[in-house]
Amino acid sequence: MNETGLSSAVTGAAIGGAVSLFALALNAIIGGHRDRIARRRQEFSKAFAACVAYEEFPYIVRRRRNDAPQTERVRISSELSIIQRELAYYSAWLVTESSEVSQAYETLVANLREIAGAKIRESWLTPPINSDGDMNVPDLGLGTLKPFKEAYLLAVTRHFSLIPRPIRRLVRSRSELPWITN
């Protein structure tokens, strides 16, 4: 083989190797980005799950067993303590992720503690259940938390939007102008 043939073969192999390395690096970057997004989505959903768990405690307290009041107090307060730690953890974590999502979560948690927390306190004042018929608990009015939960979920949706934040803000601000119709 002549020098030109060898040179072009080496050049072709070098270019092919460089393209392969570039493709491999790009794949690793994209894969890592997807993994980070998947982890964030999971953490955002766990933050929401902690709120839902806290919202269940008025019912848990009302449905506590009457045959072991001290054991039930310890069990319920221990479970509630775990949820309180989760709420605090996610409140702190979200500050580092997104100010918009963090603000929505803080609003949700504040209203959750005010509304559901008041119902938890009221539930401790009701007597423990004695029968299966006592399992039915009247509506406690926790539906008032729905707008705050929806605002958090909307903030999360916006956080993961493919449309950059400045463009979303521009569109949102233009849609709020009275002379612009959609």
Strand, helix or coil for residue 56: coil
pLDDT tens for the chain, 182 residues long, are 555 556 777 787 778 877 777 777 766 666 665 677 778 899 999 999 999 999 999 999 999 998 989 999 999 999 999 999 999 999 999 999 999 999 999 999 999 999 999 999 999 999 988 877 777 777 888 999 999 999 999 999 988 887 766 776 676 666 665 544 43
pTM: 0.73
Question: Which residues does 111 contact at the CB level (< 8 Å), separation at least 6?
Answer: 144, 145, 148
Tell me the one-letter amino acid at 128.
P
Strand, helix or coil for residue 14: helix
Tell me the one-letter amino acid at 54.
Y
> What is the residue whose two structure tokens read 């707008």?
147
